[in-house]
Every structure is written in C-alpha cells, then in structure tokens.
Amino acid sequence: MKQPHPVRLSFRRGAKGSGVTRVERLVMHPTDKERLLATLKRRLGCGGTLKDGSFEFQGDHRGALEAIFADDGYCVKRL
C-alpha cells in the first residue's frame, strides 16, 4: 500500500536521561502494527510499545529505523 505521507521518526530525551524514539504516520491495520512492533523490537534489541497508533522505542534508534523503513520502500522524514 502506498503511504500518503512520509513516516516520521523523532527522538525525545526524558527527564531521567533516557530517550524515546517515536515512529508516526505509519498507515497499516492495527493487527499488522502489532506484528511489526514485535519484529522491530527483536531487530533493535530494545523495548517498545504501541501508543496512540505510533510506535515508541526505548533509546535512540532513528538511524536503524530509517534504514529498515527505507529498505522496505517507505519514504522517511527524520525530525
């Protein structure tokens, strides 16, 4: 399925020094998102969750996620 807009990758540092990488605007069925989340957590070797339709991963994984999504044919915008 063609994405109507680029997938957005952002990173935000938390109050205790740990950060969260967020993946937004990924258009797919919620069940497929759950499967993709499990796969990405294994590939990145980190914890993550699905919150409000967006992925959140513990740590700064923007570079790795950008490469993974680009290899799958997605247009990626890094914030």
Q: What is the pLDDT of residue 4?
A: 77
Q: What is the pLDDT of residue 24?
A: 96
Q: CB 77: neighbour CB atoms within 10 A?
A: 13
Q: Considering the domain boundaries, does residue 14 fall inside one?
A: yes
Range of the domain at 21: 7-78
- The DSSP letter of residue 11 is E
Q: What is the pLDDT of residue 3?
A: 73
Burial bucket for residue 54 (CB in 10 Å: 0-12, 13-18, 19+): middle
Q: Considering the domain boundaries, does residue 22 fall inside one?
A: yes
Query: At 34, which CATH number?
Result: 3.30.780.10
Burial 21-42 (b: 16+ CB within 10 A, else e): bbbbebeeeeeebeebbeebbe
Q: Considering the domain boundaries, does residue 2 fall inside one?
A: no
**pLDDT per residue as tens, the chain (79 positions):** 567 789 999 999 987 778 999 999 999 999 999 999 999 999 999 999 999 999 999 999 999 999 999 999 999 999 8
Q: Considering the domain boundaries, does residue 71 fall inside one?
A: yes
Q: Considering the domain boundaries, does residue 1 fall inside one?
A: no
Q: What's the total number of domains in the chain? A: 1
